[in-house]
A and B are shown apart, each in its own frame.
Chain A
Amino acid sequence: MLDRLEELYRQAADDLARITSSEALREWELGTIGRKGEITLMLRQTGQLPPEERAAFGKRANEIKNLLTQAHLEREELIREQELARSMEEGQVDVTLPGRVTPVGRLHPATRTLREIYDIWAEMGFQVYRSRDVETDEMNFELLNIPPHHPARDMWDTFYTTTPGVILRTHTSPGQVHAMREYGAGGTKPIRVILPGMCYRYEQITARSEVQFNQVEGLAIGPRIRMTDLKGTLTEFARRMFGADRQVRFRASHFPFTEPSAEVDVTCILCQGQGCGVCKHSGWLEIGGCGMVHPAVLRNGGYDPAVWSGFAFGIGPERITMLKHGIEDIRYFWSNDLRFLNQF
């Protein structure tokens, strides 16, 4: 019996040493130290031996089973390592193959820029106020200090409608008077709003001009608002929008609803002020107009211009988008070609 045990042990140990796969190992385990394995079966036969042999045999058989169990564990570890190494060898992928992209949608570039503008102004306490596209001549012009037939009207090529006195707004400035009347509490409360919206101009559609375009106007009214604030606030905006290293320049200009009026330029994003085609070799890019709210407009909004003052500005989101991304044709915006939209 003992000899048979020793024989089985040697055989099992030899077999184990030659095993290289986890399947063979499982088979070996079943055949030797498993519940019905030969070693296990022998161990169970201990009781049939004469009593004097039982102790020695039992002890040895247990020893062998422990040795083989230990060896099995080691072998198992080794084979797992080998198999992992093999699968790593065989399972390599070509990481340069394209990934499976989740097709996501995209916001229109005009929306993206509008949001960027909202965010910057929101941090300075300016909130969004929207008003209608189809406006009265009175709101779009007259209350903004632009009387009928005044030459200042030449500044806007206006779409008129077949209803007398009704036009498509040429700018979001009518929102100034709307906001003053709605939020100003009869000219007693300060205001900080931005007025985004689609505007319309009677212009041929070309790479540079469109019949419809977004505009964002801003309006701040208070008892202590000065031109130095206008300069400081717009400089802050320009640097946040175009980069902290931008230089900002204010140029005298004219808008009937502000006085003094200015145009705001930033150093050209493309040539850093050296002169290029985009900035028409001036080194500067015009980003919008601004000024101190004209006393007549304050009055039309319900404020006493001798006590209250304010500033207003207007910027063009599409133009800003074009400058930032080097877009040379404004017609891309409303033509909605996915080959354009998918670049944002």
Chain B
Amino acid sequence: MLVSIRWLKEYVDIPADLPAEALAERLTLAGLEVGKIRYIGVPQQNVPGITVPPSDHLVWDRQKLLLGKIVEVKAHPDADRLVIAVVDYGGEALEECVTGAPNLFAYTGAGPLAPPLWTPFAMEGAEVWDGHSEKPARMILKGRKLRGVYNRAMVCSEKELGLSDDHEGIMLLDERTVAGYAPGTPLQDVLGDVLLDIDLTPNLARAWSIIGVAREVAALLGLPMHYPPTDVRMDGPAIAGRVDIDIRRPELNPRFTLALIEGITIAPSPLWMQLRLKLAGMRPINNIVDVTNYVMLETGQPLHAFDWDILCRRAAQSGAAHPTIITRLPDAGEELTLLDDSHHVLDAHNLLVADTAGSLSLAGVMGGLESEVQPDSRNILLEAANWNFINVRRTMQSRKLSSEAGLRFSRGVHPGQAEFGLRRAAELMRVLSGGIVARGIVDSYPLRPETVRVDLPVAEVRRITGMDLTPAEIAAILRGLQFEVDVTGDLLHVTVPDHRLDIGTGVIGQADLIEEITRIYGYDRIPTTVMDDLLPPQRDNPALRSEEWARDLLVAAGLNEIVCYRLTTPEREALLAPPGESVDLPENAYVTLANPISQDKTVMRRTLLAGLLDTAVANLRQTDRVRFFEIGSVYLPTPGDLLPQEPRRLGILLAGPREMAWWDLPARDGRFDFFDLKGVVETLLAGLHIEKAVYEPARHVSLFPGRTAALTIRKRPAGVLGELHPKVAAAFDLPDGLPILIAELDLEVILGAARAAHRVSPVPTQPAVYQDLALIVPEETPAASVDAVIREAGGDLLEDVRLFDVYRGAPVPTGHKSLAYALTFRAPDQTLTDKPVNKLRERIIKAVGQKLGATLRD
């Protein structure tokens, strides 16, 4: 919301020496965040301690941009399209300005003007905006001849001053704008202004008007509020009996008021009003529509003007004696065309303003096309109503409509404001349009809110804020915000004013008031303390601790952590199955967004694999070697449950050369393969002190058959690891022929088996005996089986079994492989001799021979 400080000053006497920047800071700290300050002609001020963005706006030179009074308009001797304005600018002599402004032509040759025309006047050397330039450009006014007449000054348009884009004619200032100023007054003093662009949080709906902001300013500065008068001169025949109001759903329409203004003439509104509308970002239309907008900006109460004659005609057509305004929900399938030409088939909750002939407006949001004010309207029925804010908001959302009125109503306007707005607007319309206001108003107020009263003990303020404010201090702050306060000892009886909907009752009302007290008192004045409250029982978070532990282990293993989008598409994840194969997904497999913002993010992921592969693709464009992991949730809806399961997973991906080259050591050949990936998993499990991990050959739709293992920990499935299926690699646009090693593991299972307090064995005191053993086994025999048989046969004295070579080829027979093991034997309490070791060795050889058909390789 753009707030003119000049306008604000009509309601609160802001000290002249309070810079706009300081006022903006006060408002910001009190919760009315000033996002931007816009300067109209006046310079920015430097306020110590306040930093504001530097502004390079046009500053009106106090010597050269002045208030001018055109005393006569003369014809130009040599040009039809130019005239000479004779201007009193407070100087010793009158100044003649050549101008092509069409709005002066009517005065040409009329002799001395009575009354004179007032206009902004610029002297040679003044900086102004170039009125003729398409793009914004500034220029310094230079004296020059215009068709033979020397010209060293100029009368200005709005565009030249930077007030608007209007360059149709020069600015002619109305009486109200120049009242009290003499010719030659610096223009800064007459028209200069500062606009505060305030971002209002939803709770500050009451401040969505100039008066609303003025109340805040008054409270913050400790100054009184001056409300505008609400007297209306009502000279016409009474409105009573000429129009009725029929509210069918009071809970949606607590109040509806009407006034009738007859005999008006539609015309442009005066410059002061137009200028205020323009500076607030609204377009002036005419003296009726402008008043409805002006009063909405001023008071926060939206208004609507109907053409009274159209309503009377509709009433007659529908056989009624006089118009009746009916507010109701629509009939099934009812339609309405709005002011913006949009056509709507209405939803059941879209409240309507209607009459006996049908619908007129979408209540609180936008007027209908048929009954709007016309250029030849003579009589106006003025509406100031109140609507349920929740319903207005729903209607705006379902109809995809927005309007200044709708935005205000949807945040909440107090029904008490309707009559204030109605009276203010009726009087302005009377004055500006020459109409006569019918006597009285029609006020249907079926749902008058109860006046809110809150009892606030001073102790409660202390309990929540920690500050010792006196009853007098608290009362003064609340009264500054227009609350009525009666103080009885340490108890304040507070009555909420009828422009606020945000104060509740009981303990909530107390909290609402405490917020107001601290906000106005100033957060910067609140002292700081250290909590002396009870320290709650301190709890461990093993899930988080072990997860961070896993991260550290993986990082130590050389992997980079990544974090992917958790939103994806089913199509992306479907690429994880090679063409022709499909993943069997249950129905409603995905948490699906009802309102996705982009086509590539429509569901919550079910797997980490797609994100890992996408990350690999992107990075392999820059580098040939990637190693990373992600820890995060996947989202698995389960039938019968409202919310999905969100198990944590660990994803790992490796690709590229296994070794890095150095300047004197070339990298040995070899790219990451299955065993590098398995090594990472083993490193992790070892680091977490997880034993009894079993790797078994497995099949996974995304992985290379025969290079895929399923991990089982303590008999619980813990995920898969393997080489990516080449067809899946191709589907993800990964480089051809590059092995991609990828794993998706169940972190809940892994971390569930992690042991923070594992047992530590004593350091051996006895020497070990080392022996090598090479065995020939059939190709299909898994190494894990050989390992297991050796360990079993070796018994307690066999301390360690390490595979150090796998060999195929002569002299090993085809279809077989040779596995070479380094065996470590040790007895805990004595030095082992060769004899028992050799016996064990024989036992091992016998066991592998019997169980696996293994033979000793010589």
Q: Which residues of A contact B (CB under 8 A)?
A: 97-98, 100, 103-108, 110-111, 115, 124-125, 127-130, 132-136, 147-152, 154-155, 159-163, 165-166, 168, 183, 189-192, 198, 200, 202-205, 211-212, 220, 222-229, 231-233, 235-236, 249-254, 256, 259-262, 273-275, 279-284, 292, 294-296, 305-306, 309, 333-339, 341-342
Contact = CB atoms under 8 A, between A and B. Distances in A.
B543 interface: yes
Contacts of A205: 598
A26 B534 CA distance: 82
B533 interface: yes
B555 A212 contact: no
B523 A262 contact: yes
B594 A228 contact: no
A202 B662 CA distance: 48
A334 B464 CA distance: 40
Nearest to A228: B466
B363 to A, nearest CB: 16
Contacts of A222: 531, 533-534, 536
B780 interface: no
B619 interface: yes
Contacts of A262: 523
B514 interface: yes
Contacts, number: 278
Given A149-B394, A251-B33, A282-B53, A336 B563 contact: yes
B50 to A, nearest CB: 8
29 contacts: A98-B662, A105-B558, A111-B551, A111-B561, A124-B531, A127-B541, A132-B643, A133-B633, A134-B604, A135-B643, A136-B642, A149-B394, A152-B202, A159-B596, A189-B536, A198-B566, A211-B601, A223-B533, A228-B528, A229-B529, A231-B526, A231-B528, A231-B529, A232-B528, A251-B33, A254-B204, A259-B511, A284-B51, A334-B565
Contacts of A337: 618-619, 622
B533 A227 contact: no
Interface string B710-738: 00000000000000000000000000000
B321 interface: no
Given A211-B597, A251-B28, A254-B201, A149 B527 contact: no
B527 A228 contact: yes
B646 A155 contact: no
B625 to A, nearest CB: 9
Given A105-B556, A155-B202, A281-B54, A160 B594 contact: yes
Nearest to B539: A127
A253 B597 contact: no
A155 B202 CA distance: 8
B202 A254 contact: yes
B591 A105 contact: no
Interface in B117-156: none
A232 B532 CA distance: 11
B410 interface: yes
A125 B535 CA distance: 7
B16 interface: no
A332 to B, nearest CB: 11
Interface of B: 28-31, 33, 51-54, 201-205, 389-391, 393-394, 410-412, 463-467, 507-508, 510-512, 514-515, 518-519, 523-524, 526-539, 541, 543-544, 548, 551, 554-567, 591-598, 601, 604, 615, 618-619, 622-623, 626-628, 632-633, 635, 642-644, 646, 660, 662-663, 665
A108 B28 CA distance: 36
Nearest to B597: A202
A253 to B, nearest CB: 6
A6 to B, nearest CB: 56
Contacts of B604: 133-134, 168
B599 to A, nearest CB: 13
A147 B561 CA distance: 39
A283 B51 CA distance: 6
B554 A151 contact: no
A337 B623 CA distance: 10
Contacts of B618: 335-337
Given A128-B541, A226-B463, A249-B524, A105 B663 contact: no
Contacts of B536: 125, 183, 189-192, 222
A132 B642 CA distance: 13
Contact of B538 (A127, A189, A251, A256): A127
A115 B548 contact: yes
Contact of A233 (B507, B531, B594, B598): B531
Contacts of A154: 202
Given A191-B536, A252-B523, A305-B507, 5 more contacts: A134-B644, A190-B536, A222-B534, A336-B618, A337-B619
A159 B393 CA distance: 18
Contact of A229 (B33, B466, B523, B551): B466
A309 B555 CA distance: 42
A273 B52 CA distance: 10
Contacts of A254: 31, 201-204
